[in-house]
């Protein structure tokens, strides 16, 4: 049985008929690649669900920054903290195309957010719809995960680059001077076997820090990309 991403995403969202779901899961059980893809979709659904139901408290990253500033520097005027993400819209099925923190196993490290985007990455940020994939030559595949509006009207996008031995996740926001990285991290997958990674807090904190107000609908995203 040939399974495309749309079928796997429907399975992850519980949208398949029971008989069809059972047949798909039977096929997935015998194919490590399908297991990896399905797990990525399921993790994205879980992670976005957690953000939708998160209590409206100060986000952890902002709290840590505030505490560090209080210990190491003189008192200063209070800094406004963005409201926590309230991703209460059901994202498009394709927006659950990949869970950036659910592929492989290894060590996560933050990239330099000041590092330059490649030309193909900028092109993808400017025009690739969520859920679609763009080949980056020998670097791997870029998968656009979702687009977000922030509470102050900003436009941000999350994507991952899946290589042969590592996965890189990036959260970028559009500015007057172009795209700016707000979060970038990489994990090694190590080998060809699939084992889920642990820990999803970092990207969640980044989404809260930018004040993500919701995942854009396909129509909203299309209008934004068509500007």
pLDDT along the chain (227 residues), means of 10: 80 84 86 78 65 48 45 40 37 34 38 70 94 88 90 91 85 91 79 38 77 86 92
Q: Domains of the chain: which residue ranges?
A: 5-225
Q: Per-residue pLDDT tens for 178-189?
A: 999 988 888 776
Round to whole Å and give the CA distance between 169 and 79: 28
pTM of the model: 0.53
Residue showing tokens 């436009």: 155
Helix (H) or strand (E) holding 215: strand 212-215
Phi-psi region of 103 (alpha: psi -120 to 50; beta: other; left: phi over 0): beta
- The packing angle between helices 5-12 and 32-53, to 10°, is 50
């Amino acid at each position: 049985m040939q399974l495309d991403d749309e079928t796997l995403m429907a399975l992850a969202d519980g949208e398949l008929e029971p008989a069809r779901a059972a047949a798909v899961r039977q096929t997935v059980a015998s194919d490590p690649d399908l297991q990896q893809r399905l797990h990525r979709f399921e993790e994205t659904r879980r992670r976005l669900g957690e953000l939708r139901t998160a209590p409206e408290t100060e986000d952890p990253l902002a709290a840590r920054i505030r505490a560090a500033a209080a210990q190491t520097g003189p008192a200063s005027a209070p800094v406004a903290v963005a409201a926590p993400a309230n991703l209460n819209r059901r994202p498009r099925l394709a927006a659950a195309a990949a869970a950036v923190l659910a592929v492989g196993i290894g060590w996560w490290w933050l990239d330099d957010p000041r590092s330059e985007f490649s030309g193909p990455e900028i092109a993808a940020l400017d025009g690739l719809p969520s859920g679609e994939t763009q080949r980056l030559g020998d670097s791997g595949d870029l998968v656009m995960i979702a687009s977000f509006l922030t509470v102050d009207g900003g436009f941000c996008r999350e994507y991952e680059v899946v290589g042969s031995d590592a996965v890189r996740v990036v959260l970028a926001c559009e500015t007057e001077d172009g795209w700016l990285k707000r979060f970038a991290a990489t994990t090694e997958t190590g080998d060809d076997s699939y084992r889920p990674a642990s820990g999803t807090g970092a990207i969640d904190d980044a989404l809260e820090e930018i004040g993500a107000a919701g995942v854009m609908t396909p129509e909203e995203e299309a209008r934004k990309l068509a500007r």
